A = this chain, B = another copy of it.
């Protein structure tokens, strides 16, 4: 699953040291975590990182690229649960719930660079201090809140609201990792991904997206998105 790179890629050069896994670990313990790193890997787009049903023993920290959690259903249906962006911890779940058999899979959305650790090692390090544990719990909380919002979106909002909500949440998620500037950020999702996240079809996503663009609320460049009228977008997200 992708080749193991040489050790020239150091954690020190990594622009994402702060936001990723390291946020759970005190500065003086970071040397310890670096030494635990098992591998640094590149993986292509559209590759399964964690197949449904497995209990991962490896923990991945996402340095570059995007991934997503999803479940496949009979009849060519697919539901995307959440997107994973640079600085996020893939399989965060296995830190929170060791021995958790994933009821969904994780897939790469773009080519990806990730650092690999043993789940047990990290759990031990994180649990060593209450404040590190608290940082992890914060992340778990955000995760839970995001699932809650998704249930609400899917249950009680229509296409426009769901899509606006998704865009706003991605902006927020990226902003937390300092990957957003002037309401502009990387946006590698195909319309099919938006559809599978919002419970729609790509044809309908297309229609809604065109509308939103025609109203000059957002601008979509090549793999990039800019929010032009933030307030109007929030309005749609809440009302629709």
Query: Which of B77, B79, B148, B197 is within 8 Å of A147, CB to CB?
Result: B148
Closest Cβ of chain B to A45, distance in Å, is: 23
Q: How far is the CA of A69 from the CA of B77 in the complex (A)?
A: 28
Is the beta-carbon distance between B150 and A151 smaller than 8 angstroms?
yes
Closest Cβ of chain B to A177, distance in Å, is: 22
A65 contacts the other chain (CB 8 A) = no
Decide if the interface of chain A is mainly helix, strand, loop or mixed. Answer: helix
Task: Report which A residues bind B (CB closer than 8 A).
Answer: 71, 73-75, 77-79, 81, 93, 96-97, 100, 103-104, 137, 140-141, 144-145, 147-152, 154-157, 196-199, 238-239
Is the beta-carbon distance between B156 and A147 smaller than 8 angstroms?
no
**Contact A239/B154 with A97-B141, A148-B104 known, Cβ cut-off 8 Å:** no
Copies in the complex: 2
Closest Cβ of chain B to A154, distance in Å, is: 4
Across the interface, which residues of B come within 8 angstroms of A197, CB to CB? 155
Leading 10 A-B pairs by shortest Cβ distance: A155-B199, A154-B154, A79-B155, A77-B156, A79-B156, A147-B147, A79-B152, A97-B141, A154-B155, A150-B151
**Contact A145/B103 with A79-B151, A151-B79, A151-B154 known, Cβ cut-off 8 Å:** yes
Across the interface, which residues of B come within 8 angstroms of A74, CB to CB? 238-239
Is the beta-carbon distance between A148 and B103 smaller than 8 angstroms?
yes
Q: How far is the CA of A168 from the CA of B89 in the complex (A)?
A: 33
**Contact A199/B156 with A74-B238, A75-B239, A141-B97 known, Cβ cut-off 8 Å:** yes
